Structure 1
């Protein structure tokens, strides 16, 4: 994209923002940066069919499968994404112990083979630990990428009900025209929705099969039985798909109102040459070819978001990216349905693609074009392996131009915002600034502004320029905090991303000098403990991601917190532990004071989830084990080692 074009787009964006911005005085007073949107869905598809993304191949061990998936989530976090869309029902099978369908063959290589763990439970927990939304992706009708029913496991519903299926184009499909099939598909999907803490249900673009030259869909008998009220088979097929979409929408929101329902259809509904309501394109029409009336789904409000797969480059004569994005923006305008764009990361820099896709700027230019349309709420990239491959640096360019800051997810629904949290501490530590707060919410957003303003300006929070991070924890270390003095604010977010008012600001002095303070968590490199010390996340009062525990014994076996003490002097030592009635009433803390070790006992049954001072001690300079948690106590209950804070006085 040329500098002139970027300037023109920026001007257009600013003009559009001024037109659609809220009318409140606060919004009018704030000038936002379109490169730093406060809210934006950023996701990638993680495809399991044919082992496209995950697992990379069948038959991996449990630990190898899990390590691969964690790596995909870590990639999403590194690219400042906030959601993943993971295929959990690729071919009428399941990535969870479903009572309806067999285990997926893409896990073990054998359909019906138990992988030895619950992948869906694992994936949801891992995503939420990174504050990534987890959208479970289901393919509704596809049974197999072959047409031989005997290759299905004997208990497969498609073998037990041969009248439910048909073969077409070398593949097997459930017949969308049979009401029992529709009920079964919905039940199979709702089993996952009801049993797992998913954030979204996602369908892809496969409804009736894509046309195969010279072949007709073999559903004439089904049409004769069920299609009597329809003048033609095409309208009947569209209504079959409409029923699935409408009923799923109703069932999902009846079970869990916070769960989002979205579909990623083929990018063209109809061409304007066929229908005046269609787009100025000339490609395959999903309305006519696969019987997906996507425009109606939006107008009827049967989906929370639509993510059309606009997999063509800017200026493509058949279906130009900028033309379709503008058309879809017009479709969703005023409906309450969010528009997310399906992006073809797989084309960027790939051999055999049009010359436009060999330009490292093409994918990034799509997002510049998105800024012209306030209706565009974000992007999903196909697929994870292409995000990772980053051919010709195309995705790095996206991140550098558009994802320089984190982003909150777009709010959905009308739930009340949670109460504002309260920052309890903000302390400079060796690797930045550590914050802790109290609150009752699903997640939190951390903002940082320079200096010590007398009050929180609403414009601090109008875009993402001051947004440091989002987290589901109640503590965060800002490792990007440098020398200046800062003021921090924290807001709370509920399950559908409504945001609270900001907390009171908490100022932190310059890091160029002043008081030394360091926090060592049990997950840090400065912590060491023997094999008898277990790891737990049982208590919500934990510091960081987890804490350590061990039963008392008649031996010290301490867990040690090591620190670099900058100079000899007097230091305050504070400890953090979760509290529970089953923990120890006299846990010994050992402080390696300069005059000899000193031991202080702490009742860990109460007073958890906050910093507790255990005294002031003379410490020598140097790097050494400063504070230990001993197991040598005569009282019962686990001793806990979670975190310590050492501050020079």
Structure 2
């Protein structure tokens, strides 16, 4: 879908499905309760995974949507009026691109011509909620990979500030209530382990060993694992992080990383940045579902603010 840049004379907007521009229009909300950016993001995430369907208003539904359908439905669900196509550009308050906040509408001219081609909602920590033709569904992906950020509009209040700055937690396999291993996992000791021992198991179609973290806010976090290393260990242990909004998350919301346990032991090994939901949950797991021989390991996991 292509959005045409708003112009002063609506009569020359050939082919545009929206009404003429209304420069002074502001978002309206029923009930007099002001939504925040957090509310917008929470509502938008309910559509994650909905298939991308290109078209006009007639093709917009909860089971298929393009970019402006997604933004319209998200704000309408909160009782906030928002039009179609470039008409969305005329709602809310203009925002300088250096001052954008989560919950703002972002408009893109991906070819740099000033002709609007895409719209989405700014999420936390540099991510964008949008219906993506590239991924073929509604996703929450890094903003930096969408070209041509052109303009922003603000329709709601500022998000609440529950900071994740300074968050750092380590869960070891010895932490009662924070680590759980299913039958088939045993304990062992080796040079380079974290703490007094580590858990290990051979590959099998069986349950994982889990690590539980109290995450203060849905945001991006750095995830690390610690393990001893041995030439007899598994070369590609599946290690999962619960990140259901990730474009590569599986049906259970897990994003899988594959860790070579034969080297790099005795230190924190980075598994990159992951968006983890708020709450006290089992969010990381060492899996036994490997096609390679050698022990799988569950030793320690560290999660820090990004």
Per the normalisation by structure 1, the TM-score is 0.21
Structure index of larger Rg: 1
Q: Relative contact order, CA 8 A, sep 6+: which one is greater? A: 2
More strand by share: 2
Which structure: greater helix fraction?
Answer: 1
